[in-house]
């Protein structure tokens, strides 16, 4: 009925790398082309489904597991689901991939240098982490493992959001347009 191939586009990267900006831009671009999408990110999940989770390592893993379960349900409903989560380790991304299914999981590494991410930090989270006010902050006091074999990597510290969106759309459209 929707005349689109449902997939989950999983955007990963450091806080401030541009994941949310690209997710919103992709959502608009897909809607303009008549695709039905849904955007999942930390803000909309932590306001409801995950409002009982904190930021411990265990809670972060559970946050991603629940996000993947929600994305799988949207996938089964035929939607192109755009997920924007730091997803700092290969293990947590592998959990998401296993829940969703490898064939429908398209990982996009939204890459920017730590320095760029810190410059973009409007909430001051990196500064708080560097002062020790935030424990286990990814990129400062907690590790971030770059994806080894993502579907696509975009460098938001080298290209603007429009160019990165275009790159992702060029890779994504042939896949989601299969039923058109």
Would you name the residues annotated as active-site residues?
87
Q: How far apart are CA 99 and CA 58, in angstroms?
A: 17
The DSSP H or E segment spanning 93 is helix 90-100
Task: Could you list the beta-strand ranges (E) of the chain.
Answer: 8-12, 37-41, 80-84, 105-111, 152-155
12 beta partners: 109
Spatial CB neighbours of 67, under 8 Å, sequence gap ≥ 6: 40, 45, 50, 83, 85, 96
Of 40, 31, 36, the C-alpha closest to 79 is: 36
């Amino acid at each position: 009925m929707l005349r689109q191939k449902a997939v989950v586009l999983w955007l990963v990267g450091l806080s401030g790398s541009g994941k949310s900006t690209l997710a919103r831009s992709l959502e608009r671009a897909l809607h303009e082309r008549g695709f039905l999408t849904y955007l999942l990110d930390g803000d909309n999940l932590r306001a409801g489904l995950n409002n009982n989770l904190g930021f411990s390592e265990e809670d972060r893993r559970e946050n991603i597991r629940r996000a993947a379960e929600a994305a799988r349900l949207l996938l089964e409903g035929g939607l192109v689901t755009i997920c924007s989560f730091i997803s700092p380790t290969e293990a947590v991304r592998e959990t998401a991939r296993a829940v969703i299914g490898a064939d429908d999981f398209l990982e996009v590494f939204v890459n920017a240098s730590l320095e760029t991410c810190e410059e973009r930090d409007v909430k001051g989270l990196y500064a708080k982490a560097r002062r020790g006010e935030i424990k286990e902050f990814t990129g400062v006091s907690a590790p971030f493992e770059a994806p080894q074999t993502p579907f696509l990597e975009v460098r938001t510290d080298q290209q603007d959001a429009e160019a990165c969106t275009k790159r992702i759309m060029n890779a994504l459209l042939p896949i989601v347009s299969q039923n058109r």
